[in-house]
Amino acid sequence: MQRTYVMSNSVYRRILKLRNAERILCERCGKEIKPGQKVMAKLSRGKFKYYHKECYESLWLDL
Ligand SMILES: [Zn+2]
């Protein structure tokens, strides 16, 4: 299961709280995902992984 959306401030803060983290890192490039950016959230083994939308698309191009 996966979905694309623009990370809003409220969703951003909710994810940080859930993860008890200070920031969300893209699984592909390792850089921070910030509110206002387009992200891809992918559910894997009960956990969401987050990617920049562009990074996620380039991930598939590599395969
Ligand atoms: Zn990225």
Structurally, the chain folds into a number of domains equal to 1
Distance 51 CA to ligand 1 centre (A): 5
Supply the CATH number for residue 16's domain.
Answer: 2.10.110
Token pair for 18: 């859930």
Collect residues with CB below 5 Å from ion ligand 1.
26, 28-29, 52, 55
CA distance 34 to 45: 24
Q: Is it the case that residue 63 has pLDDT exceeding 80?
A: no
> Residues 13-47: pLDDT tens digits?
999 999 999 999 999 999 999 999 999 999 989 88
58 vs 37, residue with greater confidence: 37
* Residue 60 φ then ψ, to 5°: -75, -30
* Average confidence (pLDDT) over 51-58: 94
Distance 20 CA to ligand 1 centre (A): 20
Q: Is it the case that residue 62 has pLDDT exceeding 70?
A: no
- In terms of residue numbers, what domain contains 17? 2-62
59 vs 58, residue with greater confidence: 58
